[in-house]
Amino acid sequence: MAMTAPTPTDRQVLLGKVASVLVGAEALAIAGFAVFYLVELVLGEGSDPMIVLMSALTMVVFVVGLGYVSMGLWRRHPRAQAPAIAFNFLLVPLGIAMFQFAPPLLAGTILVTAVATIASAALMGRLA
């Protein structure tokens, strides 16, 4: 007999949408950095063109992956929670460390966004 997932509550659906939007915002931020790298390359400001290109390519890979995670969270796909939580767990120490060398607003934004995404993705309920 096939098991069906319990119907999510309105709160769980809302938390899934919040997680999706936050992950989507992270993907857009990384896309912005990739564009910035490429603009710097075109202007001749990059120290080594190959390093700049590979860095931009790596960012694009993350943008694509986070885009799929965002879509998966929006649709409540069962395999979307883990990468969202794992990626944002990596951002927590980055946000903490950034208080030493970056503007506090930027470091705080990264830290709060990461924690909010982890919480909303974890609390959106178990997906089947």
Q: Which residue has the higher pLDDT, 1 or 5?
A: 5
**How far apart are alpha carbons 89 and 75 in whole angstroms?**
22
Q: Residue 25: what pLDDT?
A: 97
41-56: average pLDDT: 89
Asked if 69 contacts 118 with a C-beta cutoff of 8 angstroms, the reply is: no
Q: Residue 83: what pLDDT?
A: 96
**How far apart are alpha carbons 27 and 65 in whole angstroms?**
8
The alpha-carbon radius of gyration of the chain (Å, integer) is 17
The amino acid at 104: P
Q: Which residue has the higher pLDDT, 7 or 46?
A: 7
114-126: average pLDDT: 92
Q: Residue 2: what pLDDT?
A: 62
89-104: average pLDDT: 95
Q: What are 67-85's pLDDT values in tens digits?
A: 999 999 999 998 999 999 9
3-state secondary structure of 5: coil
Pick from 99, 125, 123: nearest CA to 112: 99
Is the pLDDT assigned to residue 103 strictly greater than 90? yes
The amino acid at 32: G
pTM value surpassing 0.95: no
Instruction: Place 128 in a pLDDT band, splitting at 50, 70 and 90.
Output: low
**How far apart are alpha carbons 84 and 124 in whole angstroms?**
12
The amino acid at 87: F
17-46: average pLDDT: 93
Instruction: Place 1 in a pLDDT band, splitting at 50, 70 and 90.
Output: low
Pick from 26, 28, 24: nearest CA to 68: 24
